[in-house]
Amino acid sequence: MVIILKPQYEERQLNHLLKWLEGYKLKTALVKGEQSTILGLIGDTSKVDIETVKAIDIVESVKRIQEPFKAANRKFHPDDTVIDVSGQKIGGKNFTMMAGPCSVESREQICEIAASVKSAGAGVLRGGAFKPRTSPYAFQGLRAEGIELMLEAKKATGLPIVSEIMNINDLKLFDDVDIIQVGARNMQNFEMLKELGCTNKPILLKRGLASTMEELLMSAEYILSGGNKNVMLCERGIRTFETYTRNTLDLSAIPLLKEHSHLPVLVDPSHATGISRLVKPMSMAAAAAGADGLIIEVHNDPAAALCDGAQSLTPEAFSDLARSVNALLPGLGKKTII
Amino acid sequence: MVIILKPQYEERQLNHLLKWLEGYKLKTALVKGEQSTILGLIGDTSKVDIETVKAIDIVESVKRIQEPFKAANRKFHPDDTVIDVSGQKIGGKNFTMMAGPCSVESREQICEIAASVKSAGAGVLRGGAFKPRTSPYAFQGLRAEGIELMLEAKKATGLPIVSEIMNINDLKLFDDVDIIQVGARNMQNFEMLKELGCTNKPILLKRGLASTMEELLMSAEYILSGGNKNVMLCERGIRTFETYTRNTLDLSAIPLLKEHSHLPVLVDPSHATGISRLVKPMSMAAAAAGADGLIIEVHNDPAAALCDGAQSLTPEAFSDLARSVNALLPGLGKKTII
Amino acid sequence: MVIILKPQYEERQLNHLLKWLEGYKLKTALVKGEQSTILGLIGDTSKVDIETVKAIDIVESVKRIQEPFKAANRKFHPDDTVIDVSGQKIGGKNFTMMAGPCSVESREQICEIAASVKSAGAGVLRGGAFKPRTSPYAFQGLRAEGIELMLEAKKATGLPIVSEIMNINDLKLFDDVDIIQVGARNMQNFEMLKELGCTNKPILLKRGLASTMEELLMSAEYILSGGNKNVMLCERGIRTFETYTRNTLDLSAIPLLKEHSHLPVLVDPSHATGISRLVKPMSMAAAAAGADGLIIEVHNDPAAALCDGAQSLTPEAFSDLARSVNALLPGLGKKTII
Amino acid sequence: MVIILKPQYEERQLNHLLKWLEGYKLKTALVKGEQSTILGLIGDTSKVDIETVKAIDIVESVKRIQEPFKAANRKFHPDDTVIDVSGQKIGGKNFTMMAGPCSVESREQICEIAASVKSAGAGVLRGGAFKPRTSPYAFQGLRAEGIELMLEAKKATGLPIVSEIMNINDLKLFDDVDIIQVGARNMQNFEMLKELGCTNKPILLKRGLASTMEELLMSAEYILSGGNKNVMLCERGIRTFETYTRNTLDLSAIPLLKEHSHLPVLVDPSHATGISRLVKPMSMAAAAAGADGLIIEVHNDPAAALCDGAQSLTPEAFSDLARSVNALLPGLGKKTII
């Protein structure tokens, strides 16, 4: 930690500060100049609250040197974390395709999609039972029944399943769900993260719409520090001024998160852009940038009768996408999925 | 709702769409052109899912005309909502000053600040018991004990109190808390909003860091539509690229939220900027822009022994701020607070 | 300047770095730790290129301590700059109202508005001759003719005038223009800034849509360092994700720019929000936050015949706004304008 | 164009509006409802100023249906534009690697890098002579001399060259420069765009830091509508709240710009992220997303003596990057470059 002192300060004030810091058993070094004075702190500064230091009268600014996350930090865990999800390995040299409908609608729908995406190369079935909706008047998902239908599709196909939790009190409903998704809007629902940290369920943690990569890693730290080591990160677009896309997919997060952390990094191109035509090029870009997997919305098109082809990805389009991504994998040092 | 059709479509597809829309009992009108065709829908379109319409093959884009919030909408509720909080009126011609420490630390601290801010003109005591912290290693608040201490300060001063809830399972702890705060990070914790909608507690709903005003109003709608009419909104800064401030305080939200909605609008200048020197000018600006109140961090300076004056607002500075804001109120059509 | 070194480095590399720094005659101090090493540089580091230092192999990060602007810096120029514009003082205890149409359209229009805003308290007439338009097909302003018409209105009313320059080759057209405006899109047109620095014309420099306050001050520095001391800054909204407003007016820029710099700070609430109903509340908020003036769009409503009252501010609405702002000024330590 | 009228309006007002619209020879259709009324306009609405319509008293909102750009629009120009730069084809099935130093420093430097990047597969040499720098105290480039050195490197290697223009008065210096770059900060320097539209030089137009894709296309339209058809677009990162990277590279711009426009789309991963370690993964991602080329900073490491390996891309690293990108091209339907 580096503390920059204001140009004018009294020795008395500095001594107060130094005395207070003594409690933290840090090595300190003072560099005085005419315009400013630098106080360097070396050692384990993780307990020193940066906001308290900033609030000290003679302090102009503070710069943390060490990253504030530990359990998620690659420095202390150089090897890639590989998570075993019911036999399906996620991370390392593996590339995992998660696919399925935005919302579970019926047994027929979910089982049909499950079979279809499995044959196209998907390793995990996704499906929404609890749906976070901006409007209270919008369909909120089939909820408990949706989880039941997901479990039937799991039984039918053998695919592990991932679904989003929105209320920690629903945790028991997720007993047989293989991966629990924490959505972007709950990335900083710290009370829920703490409770998930006490389970050993694999967690798919999505980046918040306005969250920095560091905040994403700190939210992962909440889960990891609780004892649950099975966390995978998911980039799904951040909020910017651009209006052609719903969000701006930040693919630079892939190499950066993997540099700072050992956790697997997946990408959700469907929610990021909100445009089905972009799912394939963004999936290929994500793979090329080093992602450990993708989570893709696939729809078996019940709307067809009505509208001759909805814009979401059909099973055929998903199959084409999977083949194209698969062709990239060997060149990227990843195992193929088909 | 206005639906723009793609240049080329088949009559068959259009007929499918019109047939589907019949179910909603809407008046439709078709305007055909060479480059594009417009389909206008008039009537109650609140049940028509805009995402489903967008997904239809022949649809280029969709524009909602009616605002998606109703209970929060000033159109259907022209008069200002005035909320009675234990005798303290919030909204309308009232201006409410909420003040207190970021975190409750001890009985002595909270009672001392409470007495001090009350005498300076504050009508509500704020204090954090449950603290949302980015890091799992940071102090998470005194939690249940913090609420107890707030209640003691309430008893001692008669000031109603406001404190943040982070887990709906803690609701019973808030039985005697006068206003429940929903923090920025939980603004879209829809499951919590639903449960708060089933109470009749006044709710202070803070705008999320990356939430639009419309999303804030939709989150209010979750509470209101559950039956709880006592919602006040709070602007507290949004996330932008600027680095001199922690967030960018969006004061244009005050007149806009008040135009679109009848709910009281408060402003938190302390969290918005993260700089105590800015609290006074931003408080005055918020009042001048028409805010119904302020929520201000005040610290009774236990750090003084250590550092000769922390940067947070002292009770004296708060008192000065309150006097300056008070002087503006008559010119703004608001009742004075001192 | 503080340089954080990477955990592992060779003495040889460090010696190279120290030798290179010798050339800058800085005092250096090294603080070694297990996880990281801090190198503090004290002295005039303004010549040390931070990007070059960052590019050095053993450097993890670099933090500048001193602000990179000097001529604009209040540290070296504690008193407010007051600019004399043809007898009209801007800055210090003065509050300046600049008002006029977005585009100059005709002699009649500009002269009529000029007379009207003058009688309402405006001290400077604004008017656009060269218009920056996103579309090449949109009206680009009356250009040279527009400047001529502004000069006639100046002669008729005695009001100094401000107008935007878009091409430095037009500079001679601005000989009798009192204040040259540099628009948001040209805030980092460095070549133009340099040439304006060689004049002694008062410059109204608008903040770019995505520019930090520091970048605004650095652009002012371009002009000031060229010898032209007559620069005033203008906050006019920054680009964010919010869609209810065209831009987000950042009023915290007022106290911060005035803290960091001695230059006058004005606010343009018309362009910031794009909504005429917000101009009055945002003007009052800007004044309350300490602005040195406002620049307001006023329209003498030729559209009235067509549309019974356009949404831009009429002269009457401007007059009401001016009176309301004027009433705030004494309490803010500013001289009244009416 | 769709105009939404306010709930209450008088027939007289509507008639005024309809009469005004008559001048534009548009087909209109009115759909009346209880809550709102929709007025659809079909035909060539490009001359109708949307801001004027919005300003009309009875208008609630306006939605443009047609895209505001024509010359850049793929609808009217379905085939990819392929630009011939001194024999080097850009766009279509071609993939173009532009590479070279951020700043031209010396004859030796630029010629050495030119030879090296050519042998690695680069088709165009980039190099900065005029440098846009935030600070007036920073090195502003070798300027005219830098262009001279670039031309020598061109003669020595046969590579066409691209360099940035910052002042239209320097245009004659670019007579033998093959591609003129318009930097992000000048993307909306409309006066410069107009003059470049009167040349027939290939232009590399970079997206502004806070510019939407539509604004980028409108700036291209300025050049195209002037008669210069040789425009290529360049995504180089947009400004967001994220701090790990300098800007956020928006790769979804590649498929979207190519969908809306026929112009070639290149990507600059060096400036976007500001981190040399990210240049390779982001280059591969850009290629996978369908980019027509890359512009990469390569440094021949004169800093080596000092600092044992600067962080910018060395010629060796560039060569590795080029080989990796090249391996992707056949699968993407692009011609290989090596």
Least CB–CB distance from D38: residue in B40, B60, B239? B40
A55: pLDDT strictly greater than 80: no
pLDDT band at D46 (very low <50, low <70, confident <90, very high): confident
Paired tokens of B187 = 């603004």
Interface residue A249 vs chain D (CB under 8 A) = yes
Residues 123-162 of D with CB under 8 A from C: 132-139
pLDDT tens-digit profile of D149-208?
A: 999 999 999 999 999 999 999 999 999 999 999 999 999 999 999 999 999 999 999 999
- Out of A133-142, A156-165, D102-111, D265-274, the most confident range is A156-165
* The pLDDT value given to residue D55: 72
* The pLDDT value given to residue B306: 40
pLDDT tens-digit profile of B133-166?
A: 999 988 899 999 999 999 999 999 999 999 999 9
* The pLDDT value given to residue D301: 64
D304: pLDDT strictly greater than 80: no
Do the beta carbons of residue A111 and residue A136 sit within 8 Å? no
φ/ψ region of D262 (left if φ > 0, alpha if ψ in -120 to 50, else beta) reads: alpha
Which residue type does D214 have? E
Could you give the percent of chain B with pLDDT greater than 70? Answer: 96
* Residue contact D282–A240, C-beta within 8 A: no
* The pLDDT value given to residue D310: 44
* The pLDDT value given to residue D52: 75
Q: Which residue of D has its CA nearest to B60?
A: D65
Do the beta carbons of residue A187 and residue A210 sit within 8 Å? no
* The pLDDT value given to residue A95: 98
* The pLDDT value given to residue A208: 97
* Residue contact C255–B278, C-beta within 8 A: yes
B128: pLDDT strictly greater than 50: yes
- B6 vs A contacts (CB less than 8 Å): none
Q: Which of D42, D134, D246 to substitute to test the interface with B, most B CBs within 10 Å?
A: D42
Which residue type does A40 have? G
Mean of all residue pLDDT scores within chain A:
91
Mean of all residue pLDDT scores within chain B:
91
pLDDT tens-digit profile of B177-232?
A: 999 999 999 999 999 999 999 999 999 999 999 999 999 999 999 999 999 999 99
A190: pLDDT strictly greater than 90: yes
Do the beta carbons of residue C273 and residue C282 sit within 8 Å? yes
Residues in chain D: 338
Paired tokens of C224 = 């000031």
- Is residue A257 helix, strand or coil? helix
pLDDT tens-digit profile of B13-60?
A: 888 888 888 888 888 888 787 767 888 888 777 778 777 787 777 888
Q: Among candidates C164, C158, C147, which has minimal Cα distance to C107?
A: C147
Residues 189-228 of B with CB under 8 A from A: 189-192, 194, 208-210, 215, 218, 221-222, 225-226
Chain B nearest-CA distance from A193, in A, is: 10
* The pLDDT value given to residue D31: 79
Rounded to whole angstroms, how far apart are CA atoms D202 and D293? Answer: 15
* Residue contact B248–C244, C-beta within 8 A: no
* The pLDDT value given to residue B310: 44
Residues 296-335 of C with CB under 8 A from B: 324, 327-328, 331
What is each CA distance from C149 to C125, C129, C297, in whole angstroms?
12, 9, 17
* Residue contact D57–C310, C-beta within 8 A: yes
Burial of D76 (0-12, 13-18, 19+ CB in 10 A): exposed
- Is residue B62 helix, strand or coil? strand
The pLDDT of A208-229, averaged and rounded, is 97
* Residue contact C251–B249, C-beta within 8 A: yes
- D236 vs C contacts (CB less than 8 Å): none
pLDDT tens-digit profile of D61-119?
A: 888 877 889 999 998 999 999 999 999 999 999 999 999 998 898 999 999 999 999 99
Interface residue B63 vs chain D (CB under 8 A) = yes
- B43 vs D contacts (CB less than 8 Å): 33-34
- Measured in whole angstroms, how far is the alpha carbon of residue D224 from the centre of its chain? 13
pLDDT tens-digit profile of B306-327?
A: 433 344 788 999 999 999 999 9
D302: pLDDT strictly greater than 60: no
DSSP A68: S
pLDDT tens-digit profile of D10-31?
A: 888 888 888 888 888 888 888 7
- Measured in whole angstroms, how far is the alpha carbon of residue B67 from the centre of its chain? 18
pLDDT tens-digit profile of B246-276?
A: 899 999 999 999 999 999 999 999 887 778 8
Which comes out higher in pLDDT, residue B303 or C221?
Answer: C221
* Residue contact D29–B29, C-beta within 8 A: yes
Contacts of B among chains (3+ CB pairs under 8 A): A, C, D
Residues of chain C with pLDDT under 50: 302, 304-311
* The pLDDT value given to residue A52: 75
Count the Cβ atoms, other than its own, within 10 Å of residue A47: 11
Do the beta carbons of residue B99 and residue B92 sit within 8 Å? no
Residues in chain B: 338
Token pair 């020795």 is at which residue? A11
* Range in A64-73, A257-266, A298-307, C102-111 with the lowest mean pLDDT: A298-307
Do the beta carbons of residue A136 and residue A332 sit within 8 Å? no
Q: Provide long-range contacts, Cβ within 8 A and 24+ apart, for B275-279.
A: B275/B245, B275/B246, B275/B311, B275/C256, B276/B311, B276/B312, B276/B313, B276/B317, B277/B311, B277/C255, B277/C259, B278/B245, B278/C252, B278/C255, B278/C256, B279/B313, B279/B317, B279/B321
* The pLDDT value given to residue D120: 97
The pLDDT of A10-15, averaged and rounded, is 86
Do the beta carbons of residue D160 and residue D171 sit within 8 Å? no
